[in-house]
Chains A and B, each alone.
Chain A
Amino acid sequence: MNTLEISNLCKDYGDFRLDKVSFDLPQGYVMGLIGPNGAGKTTIIKIIMNLVMKQEGQVKLFGKDHREYEVAVKKRIGFVYDTPGYYQHLNLRQLKNVVSPFYENWDEAVFERLVDHFNLPLNKTLKKFSKGMGMKASIALAMSHHADFLIMDEPTSGLDPVIRREVLEFFREFMQREDRSILFSSHITTDIEQVADYITYIRGGRVIFSKTKDEVFEEYALVKGGNDLLDYDTRSALLGVRSGAYGFEGLTHNVNEARAVFGDSAVYDRATLEDIMFFTGQKSKTVL
């Protein structure tokens, strides 16, 4: 069963458009949405949550149309906003009292456990919260109604490494049950490398790929070698090249093919998501 199915999603803003975005997230897995700023990650998430209207295409949550069954499907979703900017004058207890009546499955005991787990103060006004506390508070508020699908836009951006790890560990704990799923966007690619089962790479409103993390790292690799190995033909075997005084570094999405082209004198390294984003996003040369 797929928790999320997106097919042929289109949205035209004039200067930016989502172009036939399609991907699926099977139940029981974590999907990371990566892409540079302005790639369309937030727009996709907002369309899933029906906060932005799509123009074409279909979104299904738990097998049901996300608009036709909006109330039913949203009960099962925990949604964490980019920045918890609302009701800054309230403290967490007061904000909880505002939020909880919207959910018929609200579970006070779960909320208390999460507040305790994250060491959150209930009586401090939210404007005095650090960014990390704010994010943890948002997660606690989003997770106290027995949601089995967690959707988050940039949950780890702006957090220090210690809190980021704590949040990622919470995701892992949440995923101990196989009927749950997570979709989160991030440009902190290492966070996605750490917890995602599936990676969907969005760039310029299009899906570059959507596949398992293992597939991504088995296919993509960095090729490094002397500049003498680079010519017009070999260059075309690479998705992007950075050539320096002492050698070049390039990205391939088919390591076996690259080996056939560059042979044993080149070095083949594991590519990180950051490498993949960098080399696939290279603009044509000479900026200055």
Chain B
Amino acid sequence: MTVSLTFETSSFSIAIQYRYLERMKIIISNASSEPIYEQIGRQIKAQIISGELKEGDGLPSIRKLAKELHISVITTKRAYEELEKEGFIDTVGGKGTFVAIQNKELLREKRMKSVEDMMSDTVTEAKKLDISYDELREMLSILYDSNDE
């Protein structure tokens, strides 16, 4: 079973500078062998790295998230704790949870790492199909040029 939903955080009445989080998307699959807290963490992280979630964006409270996703508060708490440990989000007592001020260098490094990971998957797959380095480079070059905006 796959539950998909999109929701909006309620606005807070506190005068601090942050963007309202308009849309955050989390899809939980109960059929996946990946634990639910990891599914949440991975998706939030991806949205931070891609820039969909920006510094200072407010995240829903663990109770709100648990209610919306029909999962345990313990699970959402664990997902947030992991994200906090990795420096992606900050919890401000009494105010809520926010996307952390990201170290620009670090963020770029993380995004580079994700490009590297994808390339590594590409190479693995290509080798299985006996695609040579030159062929692969050719493909990459075409894709790179055609993707120019």
Q: Which residues of A contact B (CB under 8 A)?
A: 28-29, 172-173, 175-178, 194-197, 212-214, 218, 270
Contacts of B113 in A (CB 8 A): none
Contacts A214-B37, A218-B35 given; does A196 touch B72 at CB 8 Å? yes
Question: How far does the alpha carbon of A175 sit from the alpha carbon of B76 in the complex, in Å?
Answer: 14
Contacts A29-B73, A29-B74 given; does A176 touch B35 at CB 8 Å? no
Contacts A175-B63, A176-B64 given; does A214 touch B75 at CB 8 Å? yes
**Contacting pair B67 A175 (CB below 8 A):** yes
Question: How far does the alpha carbon of A170 sit from the alpha carbon of B63 in the complex, in Å?
Answer: 14
B85 at the interface (CB under 8 A from A): no
Q: Which of A196, A214, A270 contacts B78 (CB 8 A)?
A: A214
**Contacting pair A214 B35 (CB below 8 A):** yes
**Contacting pair B67 A213 (CB below 8 A):** no
Question: How far does the alpha carbon of A194 sit from the alpha carbon of B30 in the complex, in Å?
Answer: 11
Question: How far does the alpha carbon of A218 sit from the alpha carbon of B33 in the complex, in Å?
Answer: 10
Contacts of B36 in A (CB 8 A): 214
Question: How far does the alpha carbon of A174 sit from the alpha carbon of B70 in the complex, in Å?
Answer: 14
1/0 per residue, CB under 8 A from A, across B13-50: the answer is 00000000000000000100101110000000000000
> Which residue of B63, B72, B73 has the most chain A CB atoms within 10 A of its CB atom?
B72
1/0 per residue, CB under 8 A from A, across B100-115: the answer is 0000000000000000
**Contacting pair B63 A213 (CB below 8 A):** no
Can you spell out 16 A-B residue pairs with CB atoms less than 8 angstroms apart? A29-B73, A172-B66, A172-B67, A172-B70, A173-B67, A175-B63, A175-B66, A176-B63, A176-B64, A176-B67, A178-B63, A195-B70, A212-B72, A214-B72, A214-B75, A218-B35
Contacts of A176 in B (CB 8 A): 63-64, 67
Contacts of B70 in A (CB 8 A): 172, 194-195
Contacts of B67 in A (CB 8 A): 172-173, 175-176
1/0 per residue, CB under 8 A from A, across B108-146: the answer is 000000000000000000000000000000000000000
